Amino acid sequence: MAVELSIVVPMHNEAGNVAALAHEIAAALAAGTFELLLVDDGSTDATLAEALRLRAAIPELRVLGHARRMGQSAAIWSGVRAARAAWVVTLDGDCQNDPHDIPELIRARSAARDESVRLVVGHRIARRDTVWRRVQSGVANAVRGRLLGDRIRDTGCGLKLFARDTFLALPRFDHMHRFLPALFLREGVRVVSVPVRHRPRTAGRSKYAMLERLAAGIVDLAGVLWLARRAWPKDAVRELTGACELKLAETGAPGRSSASAERAL
């Protein structure tokens, strides 16, 4: 049976969350055909062992592992590359994203009735983080939105739905997961944002310190801004097959004939 949806969850030292999250995802998607890929990013606790034990109870589960910690973006990319479905959902491994919001993202994509919608991002309402974390996130989103113009309220939300082929065509770099809306827009596709729930962390701890976030964010923002300004239109070339185009090419005349046969590349 074909897999309709691939769920990719990057994890690093989330032994206290992996079982609860995997079972919750399986329950939320029980009505469809899916696969769940847990990607262990070089954990030093029992995350990998817990994930492997879950395969007996959750037949849709696949476990991938990095031999050493490579970062959240690398773990997401490894999972998406291994995914079998055309559409992928990502969510964080800390249980703060609610798997029951996944159908909302799918409905938002269907409601758009537009094949150019290739990314649906969640924006967290009623954030269940500390005040300081919310302040950091608000400042980062404001600066990013002003410079990149992606018009997305919350790129830090791990809950996203996107087309696998478009994602794999993006430039790869550390922390790229923070800039997916801008990178997808660079590909000439549409991005939709929908409100999702947010839950407090009950096990494990955050993997990012303030200074680490700030240093990485400044460098990466400059890089993404550079990439965005150097994109070219994806429909800039077409294959010309009619005789009228040959005549236009020989004479150097501008324009295109309505009688010609074209195929977009």
**Longest Cα–Cα distance in the chain:** 71
**Distance separating alpha carbons of residues 127 and 98, to the nearest angstrom:** 12
Asked whether the beta carbons of 49 and 65 are under 8 A apart, the reply is: no
* pLDDT value, residue 258: 44
* pLDDT value, residue 251: 64
Lowest mean pLDDT among 12-16, 78-82, 152-156, 246-250: 246-250
* pLDDT value, residue 91: 97
List Cα–Cα distances, 164 to 63, 118, 144, in angstroms.
19, 9, 24
Write the DSSP assignment of 147-208 as a string of letters.
HH----S-TT---EEEEHHHHHTSPP-TTGGGGHHHHHHHTT-EEEEEEE-B----SS--S-
Q: How many helices (H) and strands (E) does the chain have?
A: 9, 9
* pLDDT value, residue 225: 72
Q: What is the pTM assigned to this prediction?
A: 0.78
* pLDDT value, residue 259: 43
* pLDDT value, residue 61: 98
Q: What is the pLDDT of residues 101-153, one digit of tens each?
A: 999 999 999 998 899 999 999 998 877 665 656 656 665 666 565 666 667 77
* pLDDT value, residue 228: 73
* pLDDT value, residue 142: 60
Q: What is the pLDDT of residues 58-87, one digit of tens each?
A: 999 999 999 999 999 999 999 999 999 999
Which has more pLDDT, 112 or 162? 162
For the chain, the average pLDDT equals: 83
Backbone φ and ψ of 96, nearest 5°: -80, -25
List Cα–Cα distances, 149 to 25, 79, 159, 176, 222, in angstroms.
33, 28, 21, 17, 13
What is the domain class of 5-229 according to CATH?
alpha beta
Every domain of the chain and the residues it spans = 5-229, 235-265
Which has more pLDDT, 129 or 161? 161
* pLDDT value, residue 134: 60
* pLDDT value, residue 125: 86
Which has more pLDDT, 32 or 261? 32
Rounded percentage of the chain residues whose pLDDT exceeds 70:
72
Q: What is the pLDDT of residues 173-220, one digit of tens each?
A: 888 998 899 899 989 999 999 999 988 888 866 655 554 555 556 667
